[in-house]
Homo-oligomer: A and B are copies of this chain.
Amino acid sequence: MSKEKPNNSKKISLAEVAKAAGVSKMTASRVLRNQGGFSDSTRDRVMAEVERLGYLPNRMATAFAAGESSPFVGVSIPDLRNEAFSQILEGIDHKLGTFGHQTVLGLTRNLPEEEEKWIEKILSWQPAGMILTGRVHSPKAISMLKHAAIPVVEMWDLNSSPMDMCVGLNHFDCGYHVGRFLIEKGYRRLGYVGTDHGVANAAQSRLEGFQKAVADGGGDVRHHLCLNDIPGFYPGYYGTEQLLNAQRGIEAIFFQNDNMAVGGYEFCESHALQIPQDIGIVGWGDLPVLSVFRKKMTTVKVRHVRLGQLAAEKLLSTLHGSAVQPVSDIGYLTVPGATT
């Protein structure tokens, strides 16, 4: 494809098809859109040329002329190695695809400035809408989206006053809920292990909620944040080591997600700490790893695929002119396991 092939390699335009069929562009256009106003014999001649020349309509020209937007929907996601986001994206793309729209992916690594550049590029291609992760966006990004006048869904982190629409869960409340859960179980000296990318994100909100609940319950939180690491097994393992070395007597640890929690679990067990007798472990997200983990982990369940679907549904409804509830709380469910 990249080089000239024996067959015609240049793009075929409607005019060429029309000329080959001996009709005007307009007639060929009518045939292709089956819009009526042509005889059977004309249709056959045009279609034969379409087939022979391998004509493919240029939707860019159509959309441009009509001042339409493209069927593309920009979807910005921090990172696909985080299974939560893979699942969300799966939900979004499946729903969008069913309704003839296309996902244009942007892995913006939770960096507002990267997101801003990406948004500018996407907007210049007249997308039908945008789905963004999180509630933090650069002022210029917000201004551009406002001017673009397209539906925007902010997902993941619940935002009671979104730019336009929002689906997610309240991570602060969720963290608070976990803190409250542990306090009620009698834990007081608590730890948190996560990662830090220097940006305000959902995990940060969970930590803040967690700290608040523990403080309210008369407890105390020590945390360790691994810098610039993806929240996986090894950061969980070493983060736990750092935390426990720095601070003795921690009774339970809340992890940024289940993958980190599993790493932390392994560290504890390999250092003769009994779970949950010596130390409690709480993960987050109900990630796939838990289905194969040997102990039932205390975690927080979030319907990631559904979240993605709902984000896409809000967008599609708006595009089709239906009234839409601007904010939806997807909720979460704390699932007590055998690690607390």
Please give the residue numbers on chain A whose beta carbons come within 8 Å of chain B beta carbons, in ascending order: 1-2, 5, 7-12, 54, 56-61, 63-64, 67, 70-72, 79-81, 83, 86-87, 89-90, 93-94, 97, 100, 102-107, 118, 120-126, 143-152, 163-165, 232-234, 259, 262-263, 266, 288-289, 291-294, 318, 324
Contact = CB atoms under 8 A, between A and B. Distances in A.
Nearest to A305: B81
A94 B70 contact: no
A320 to B, nearest CB: 11
A90 B107 contact: yes
B70 A60 contact: yes
A11 B124 CA distance: 11
A124 B56 contact: yes
B94 A89 contact: no
Contact of A86 (B63, B86, B318): B86
A11 B149 contact: yes
A2 B60 contact: no
Contacts of A152: 1
Nearest to A122: B102
Contact of A60 (B63, B104, B324): B63
A318 B294 CA distance: 48
B54 A64 contact: no
Contacts of A164: 1-2
B102 A107 contact: no
Contact of A125 (B11, B60, B80): B60
A97 B102 contact: no
25 contacts: A1-B149, A1-B150, A1-B151, A1-B163, A1-B164, A2-B164, A2-B324, A5-B146, A8-B147, A56-B120, A57-B124, A58-B64, A59-B125, A60-B63, A79-B90, A80-B80, A80-B93, A93-B105, A94-B107, A100-B121, A102-B122, A103-B104, A104-B104, A288-B289, A292-B293
A291 B232 contact: yes
Contacts of A125: 59-60, 70, 72
Contacts of A71: 121
A199 to B, nearest CB: 18
Contacts of A263: 292
Given A8-B147, A80-B80, A289-B289, 10 more contacts: A1-B150, A1-B164, A5-B149, A54-B147, A56-B120, A58-B64, A59-B125, A86-B86, A90-B107, A93-B107
A89 B97 contact: no
